[in-house]
Amino acid sequence: MKILVTGANGFVGHAVWRRLNSLRGVHVVGSLRQASPLKDLMASSVILGDLTAQTNWSAVLPGTGVVVHTAARVHVMRDTTNDPLTEFRRVNVLGTLQLGRQAAAAGVARFVYVSSAKVNGEASLPDCAFRETAAPRHQDAYGVSKHEAEQGLLELAAVTGMEVVIIRPPVVYGPGVKANFASLMHAVQRGWPLPLAAIHNQRSLVALDNLVDFIITCAMHPKAANETFLVSDGHDLSTTELASGLAKAMNVPIRLLPLPVWILQATARLAG
């Protein structure tokens, strides 16, 4: 079976590409935005540039049975563009649907789309976890773009018969993680005092290896066709527990201060 992994040099995409390469009977091809220093990845990948409505996928789609689409314009905390929603739509919606249409035309049987739990919202209601069947409550441009791409792919599936599987992961952690998770790890490792001792939230996370296993299952399992999944490790953590767990894993002392949550919220608003 030939499987195309888009964004094969990304945090999730490269892990999927590497795992698929270890499976017998699978011929995996990656698509890249730009050249990678990894020689083995470059040997089985094609550089296609930006993901847009004009991207031509004809070099990688013939003979492909499954597309695993991880490439995206990712969520950023401080977006410097004047119109973030337009930029997210350009890549995550128009670029994704361009790939979807060409994949269906090329006879691809299944399209696995790595979306985001941000489609469900920023926080679940008390004692009411996110569900795949719940109405979307996205609150930022990234979440909007992911939901619109999902809807477009489902419409495409209804017209063409191509199977679509949607996966909405929460925060993903593992080797090479960046963004806020990496910042927290850095602060814990440096021994900085953190005002997190009074936070009693519950946060779902998913380990990179667990997510990769689930993506590959969704690529191959017959019952995954045309389903939407939320996925996590199954063990939710408070921010306090997360910081303490990181310190234990890195064998460093943790310094947590019990600052009231309302002070943290006010400080965060002032800081933008």
Angle ∠(195,201,202) on CA atoms, nearest 5: 130
Helix (H/G/I), strand (E/B), else coil: 128: strand
Q: What is the CA radius of gyration of the chain?
A: 20
Task: Judge whether 243 and 191 are in contact, CB under 8 Å.
Answer: no
Of the residues 142, 153, 215, 216, only one is catalytic, namely 142
Active site residue 173: no
The torsion angles phi and psi of 59, rounded to 5 degrees, stand at: -75, -20
Q: How far is it, in rounded angstroms, from Cα 71 to Cα 66?
A: 15
Q: Shortest CA distance to 27 belongs to which of 4, 53, 57?
A: 4
The DSSP string of 63-74 is T--EEEE-----
Neighbours of 68 (CB within 10 A): 30
Q: Kindly list the catalytic residues.
A: 142
